[in-house]
Structure 1
Amino acid sequence: MRLHHSAILTTTCLALWALTSCSAPPSDNAPAGTQAETPIPVGVDHEVLPSEQLAERLLTADDLGPGYAARPAATTASSEASVEGCPQLDQLGSAVDNPYAMFPNQGKRVFAGPGGTQLTEELYSAPPKDLSAGVGRIMAAMGACPSYQLVTSTSVAEIRTQVVPVPRLGDERWGLVLTVAAGGRRTVIQQTVIRDGAVLLVVSGSPAEVTVHGQTALAKATAR
């Protein structure tokens, strides 16, 4: 499965970033599985927010505290990567770099954190039933394979996936950890995805940062 280097799913992007750009904190965690919450009835009376409003609800460096600064989303000259050993990812469709692009109302902010860490927040808005169905499909595909390889022109990374618990926030929630091993080092990247009505929050980074800042991000994203 051929993938563009700079888009695809946030977690795979972060895996590539961890290997090629910024340094991420080494950490411990291990393999296996996929998670989808038991479906929760979705209402029809939630307002879909335009991208401009989503941008206003993103975290700022001030929200995160000392040591954080907003930074441009990473771009790289390396054009492609391929995923080997996980045919289920083909369910997402090879023609679309970023499956979340199905939700046109969106906002994104990337932060550099203490010690060279990186935290990424994304917000999307769509009718609740569309968010629920779309994200369920994305996370099922991402978590379908306990392990696979991410191959670029300069490296081969072994990636292991693990379901992690997510606090009972919002209407639906998913948690996934990637353990990325390449070049003799290992990096752990967590992604927490929470749907609250017509708003979808995706927070990605080191497990500690996602745990600490995830609830703050959700509170700001869903403030009425």
Structure 2
Amino acid sequence: MRLRHSAILTSTCLALWALTGCSAPPSDSTPAAAQEEAPIPVDHEVLSSKQLAERLLTADDLGPGYAALPSATTAASEASVEGCPQLEQVGSTVDSPYAMFPNQGKRVFAGPGGTQLTEELYSAPPKDLSTGVGRIMTAMGACPSYRLVTASTVAEVRTQAVPVPRLGDEQGGQVLTVTAGGRRTVVQQTVIRDGAVLLVVSGSPTEVTVHGQAAVAKATTR
């Protein structure tokens, strides 16, 4: 199943970037796993893309060794998922749950030692965000392993749901172990919905742990 600008490739392509130079998908991309249910309030303000951009982390927030990458360097190649029908179905759906959210912001950072950290923000009515997150999380949790095929790489991907801090209204976390060309790397992704704001942070487990709470605090500033 061919996927372009798919909502399921951010974490996997981050891992491939570390191994082979694969680029991170554009800002309509967001995978995750494991969600905590919560009541859905309706009185939260939906933020514009401009407002979301102002709430993204900066290189100064992250500290020495980090630099924001120009958006032109983060374009994604076409890829295909094999061995996980549920994931293929989500990726091929025209009304991808994240593509319907026009209010979005994204920043990609190059970190120390050649690592990469990505932060994405989306905003929509809380119920709509929750429904979209649920669809993606269900698909991502359906298969413990699958293959991601690009023009130059075949990667074996293993997934595992992991606990995340109980922040916001809904939380989810997943670790992906990606093996390509005899090399292996690990990427963690944390997803947190707080009212009408959805935060997605992807990178090495250490980076996500260290910078995740700062991202939440800045993204959910009232």
Q: Secondary structure at the match of 2:42?
A: coil
Residue 215 of structure 2 corresponds to which residue in structure 1? 217
- Report the Cα distance in structure 2 between the residues aligned to 1:161 and 1:146, rounded to whole angstroms: 5
Asked if structure 1 preserves the Cα contact closer than 8 Å seen for 2:18 and 2:115, the reply is no
Q: Residue 188 of structure 1: SS of its match in structure 2?
A: strand
What residue ranges of structure 2 are gaps of 5+ in the alignment?
24-32
Instruction: Figure out how many residues of one structure are paired with residues of the other and give that number.
Output: 211
CA distance in 1, matches of 2:20, 2:95: 19
TM-score w.r.t. length of structure 2: 0.88
Task: Report deviation, 1:91.
Answer: 3.3
Task: Confirm or deny: 8 A CA contact 2:177 2:187 kept in the other structure.
Answer: yes
Provide the identity percentage. 80
- Give, as a single letter, the amino acid of the residue that structure 1 aligns with 2:106: K
Residue 125 of structure 1 contacts residue 199 of structure 1 at CA under 8 Å; is this kept in 2? yes
CA distance in 2, matches of 1:75, 1:62: 20
| Structure 2 partner of 1:168 | 166
Give the Cα–Cα distance (whole angstroms) in 2 for the partners of residues 79 and 66 of structure 1.
30
Partner of 1:30: none
- 2:95 pairs with 1:94: no
Residues 1:205 and 2:185 aligned together: no
Aligned partner of 1:26 in structure 2 is none
Q: Given the alignment of the two structures, is residue 125 of structure 1 paired with residue 123 of structure 2, yes or no?
A: yes
Matched ranges for 1:1-224 at <5 A: 1-4=1-4, 7-9=6-8, 10-21=10-21, 35-37=34-36, 39-73=37-71, 74-75=73-74, 79-96=77-94, 99-224=97-222
Change (3 A) 1:18 1:100: farther
- Give, in angstroms, the shift of residue 98 of structure 1: 6.4
Moved more, 167-176 or 87-96: 87-96
Please give the alpha-carbon distance, in whole angstroms, between the structure 2 residues aligned to 1:110 and 1:58: 10
Find the aligned partners of 2:57 and 2:193 in 1 and give their Cα distance: 17
Q: Give 1:103 deviation, angstroms.
A: 1.1
Contact 1:193 1:202 survives alignment (8 Å): yes
Cα-to-partner distance string for 1:99-155 (whole Å, 9 max, x where unaligned): 522211000000011011100000000111111111011111112100011112222
CA shift at 1:209, angstroms?
A: 0.2
Using the size of structure 1 for normalisation, the TM-score is 0.87
Secondary structure of 2:216's match? helix
Alpha carbons of 1:75 and 1:45: their partners in 2 closer, same or farther (altered >3 Å)? closer
Q: 1:182: how far off?
A: 1.2
Q: 2: CA distance between counterparts of 1:138 and 1:146?
A: 15
Q: Over aligned residue pairs, what C-alpha RMSD do you find?
A: 2.0
Residue deviations 1:62-91, cap 9 Å, x none? Answer: 100111110124446x84221110001133
CA contact (8 A) 2:19 2:183 kept: no
Structure 1 unmatched ranges of 5 or more: 24-33
Decide whether the 8 Å contact of 1:179 with 1:187 is kept in 2.
Answer: yes
Change (3 A) 1:155 1:96: same
SS at the partner of 1:40?
coil
Runs ≥4 residues deviating over 4 A: 95-99
Q: Contact 1:7/1:97 (CA < 8 Å) preserved in 2?
A: no
